[in-house]
């Protein structure tokens, strides 16, 4: 007879399984009729293939996204479409990889390129489904937005929505509203601590502070909005590194998520020092215009940039467009905020030669590095499988090569002219002579 505790565990597992099966899915299964309704309403669609391992990993997370939006009573309909069953839809929408996630907003298609995690996808859906430019109607609205929004957000201050500044502001907002938040409000709602340079202006609130757009900084409004939509030191990943480094050089601190906020570790102290340096650089006009600070979770991206091992903690300066980078060469234990600022000023002055780049030799070096790195990672993760994967074909190739090289292709004369035939021919000749 089974113990009572074992029976309870089995029953609880059965109840949990039954409840899980009875939970209604909030993800709509689409078919080829979707092409007729994609331009009406708000759709957040994952295009997948059943054989795709990344798609299989995404599906449970996608269900969570559907339930989270349903709990918020959002108008966004979360859906999925099997591209192997409906290839015409995939062809029409130009789906080239799996999974592909697209937000459909009244005829506008916005591809999601962020992390395949619940919170980033949910935040993307909320931003993309909201108004392109929200309206702040009271001091209470402004206070709640400042308290509840951790990311940078922009506010157009003015009452003339026909002027050139608002026209450029609304155009950039229509391009970036799925990534950043844009608002507008009347000048009377501006806090007394903020002094506007003119009747209409643009303010960015971030990192518990604010900045005003100034036409004398050498950037137009579009460039300024692109540059200021990042916090003082955001997490830089492969999915956003090009966007963050679009207008400025990246100052990347090589850290790790576990020790980053632990002051007792070398990584934690280095992170604090780099944040202090980032705030100091913000107060220097030339550095603020040229640099954007960020941090890396691990050394993988840094290793791919320098084509080698980048220890933790450390930092480098990276140009996304040219793939050039700068390294101070100082020991991480002696790096200070002043030494970092001095190094950045030397880069601006042209005193530090760049490394890397996109030359032919550098591209060949990168290919070799990527191949060897991938092979090493394969052997480290699955040594037996990798050995079979490469060993078996190499063994067959070796056998075939050895067989070809050791074979004797010379032809013996007796194989063409047998000895018996020669004897017969000689005897016939003797008979004719007789």
The region of weakest confidence among 9-13, 219-223, 327-331, 419-423 is 9-13
Q: Do both 212 and 171 map to the same domain?
A: yes
- Does residue 151 register a pLDDT over 50? yes
The region of weakest confidence among 101-105, 239-243, 366-370 is 366-370
Q: Do both 112 and 140 map to the same domain?
A: no
Q: Using 50, 70 and 90 to split pLDDT, how confident is the model at 20?
A: very low
In a domain, residue 16? The reply is no
- Does residue 421 register a pLDDT over 80? no
Q: Do both 178 and 265 map to the same domain?
A: no
Q: Which of 223, 215, 214 is nearest to 292 (CA)?
A: 223
pLDDT at position 140 is 92
Q: Do both 241 and 208 map to the same domain?
A: no
308: Cα within 13 Å, side-chain hemisphere: 9
Q: Using 50, 70 and 90 to split pLDDT, how confident is the model at 159?
A: confident
Which of 298, 332, 358 finishes a domain?
Answer: 358
The predicted model gives 244-273 an average pLDDT of: 92
In a domain, residue 386? The reply is no
Q: What percent of the chain has pLDDT over 90?
A: 37
The Cα–Cα gap between 365 and 376 comes to 16
Q: Do both 193 and 285 map to the same domain?
A: no
Q: Do both 72 and 180 map to the same domain?
A: no
In a domain, residue 69? The reply is yes
Q: Do both 272 and 165 map to the same domain?
A: no
Cis peptide bond upstream of 120, omega within 30: no
In a domain, residue 34? The reply is yes
Q: Do both 272 and 342 map to the same domain?
A: yes
The predicted model gives 386-412 an average pLDDT of: 75
The predicted model gives 75-83 an average pLDDT of: 92
Q: Do both 239 and 350 map to the same domain?
A: yes
Choice between 36 and 369, residue whose per-residue pLDDT is larger:
36
**Number of domains the chain contains:** 3
Q: Do both 109 and 139 map to the same domain?
A: no
In a domain, residue 270? The reply is yes
pLDDT digits (tens, 9 = 90+) for 290-308: 999 999 998 999 999 988 8
In a domain, residue 3? The reply is no
Residue-averaged pLDDT of the chain = 84
Q: In what order do the strands lie in the sheet with 181-185?
A: 134-135, 181-185, 153-157, 201-206, 209-212
Which of 100, 129, 158 finishes a domain?
Answer: 129
Which of 229, 247, 265 finishes a domain?
Answer: 229
In a domain, residue 379? The reply is no
pLDDT at position 17 is 38
Q: Do both 283 and 190 map to the same domain?
A: no
In a domain, residue 375? The reply is no
- Does residue 4 register a pLDDT over 50? no
Greatest alpha-carbon span in the chain? 138
Q: What is the CATH number of the domain that holds 60?
A: 3.40.30.10
Q: Which of 185, 203, 186 is nearest to 194 (CA)?
A: 203
* Structural domain harbouring 116: 25-129
Which tokens go with 413?
């004369």
Q: Is the CB of residue 226 less than 8 Å from the CB of residue 247?
A: yes
Q: Using 50, 70 and 90 to split pLDDT, how confident is the model at 420?
A: low
Q: Is the CB of residue 184 less than 8 Å from the CB of residue 155?
A: yes
Q: Using 50, 70 and 90 to split pLDDT, how confident is the model at 15?
A: very low
Q: Using 50, 70 and 90 to split pLDDT, how confident is the model at 9?
A: very low
pLDDT at position 1 is 46
Q: Do both 252 and 329 map to the same domain?
A: yes
């Amino acid at each position: 007879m089974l113990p009572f505790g074992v029976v309870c565990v089995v029953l609880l597992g059965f109840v949990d399984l039954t409840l899980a099966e009875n939970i209604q899915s909030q993800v709509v299964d689409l078919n080829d009729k979707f092409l007729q309704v994609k331009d009406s309403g708000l759709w957040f669609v994952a295009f997948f293939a059943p054989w795709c391992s990344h798609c299989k990993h995404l599906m449970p997370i996608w269900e969570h996204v559907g339930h989270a939006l349903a709990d918020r009573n959002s108008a966004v309909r979360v859906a999925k479409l099997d591209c192997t069953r409906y290839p015409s839809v995939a062809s029409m929408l130009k789906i080239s990889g799996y999974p592909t996630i697209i937000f459909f907003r009244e005829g506008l298609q916005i591809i999601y390129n962020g992390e395949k995690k619940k919170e980033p996808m949910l935040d993307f859906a909320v931003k993309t489904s909201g108004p392109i430019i929200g309206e702040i109607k009271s001091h209470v609205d402004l206070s709640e937005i400042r308290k509840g929004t951790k990311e940078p957000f922009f506010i157009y201050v003015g009452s003339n929505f026909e002027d050139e500044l608002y026209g450029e502001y609304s155009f950039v907002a229509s391009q970036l509203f799925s990534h950043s938040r844009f608002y507008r409000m009347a000048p009377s709602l501006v806090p007394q601590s903020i002094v506007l340079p003119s009747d209409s202006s643009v303010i960015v609130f971030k990192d518990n502070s604010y900045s005003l757009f100034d036409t004398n900084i050498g950037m137009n409004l579009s460039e300024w909005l692109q540059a200021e939509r990042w916090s003082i030191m955001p997490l830089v990943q492969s999915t956003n590194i090009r966007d963050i480094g679009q207008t400025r050089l990246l100052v990347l601190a090589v850290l790790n998520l576990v020790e980053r906020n632990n002051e007792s570790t070398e990584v934690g102290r280095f992170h604090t020092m780099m944040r202090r340096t980032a705030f100091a650089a913000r107060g220097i006009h030339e550095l603020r215009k040229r640099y954007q600070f960020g941090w890396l979770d691990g050394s993988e991206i840094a290793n791919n940039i320098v084509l080698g091992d980048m220890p933790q903690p450390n930092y480098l300066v990276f140009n996304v467009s040219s793939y050039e980078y700068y390294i101070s060469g100082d020991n991480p234990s002696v790096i200070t905020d002043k030494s970092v600022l001095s190094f950045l000023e030397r880069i601006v002055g042209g005193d530090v030669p760049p490394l890397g780049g996109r030359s032919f030799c550098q591209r060949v070096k990168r290919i070799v590095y990527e191949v060897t790195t991938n092979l090493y990672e394969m052997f480290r993760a699955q040594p037996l499988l990798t050995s079979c994967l490469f060993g078996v074909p190499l063994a067959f190739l070796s056998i075939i090569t050895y067989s070809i090289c050791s074979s004797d292709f010379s032809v013996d004369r007796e194989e063409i002219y047998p000895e018996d035939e020669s004897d017969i021919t000689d005897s016939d000749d003797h008979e004719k002579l007789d």
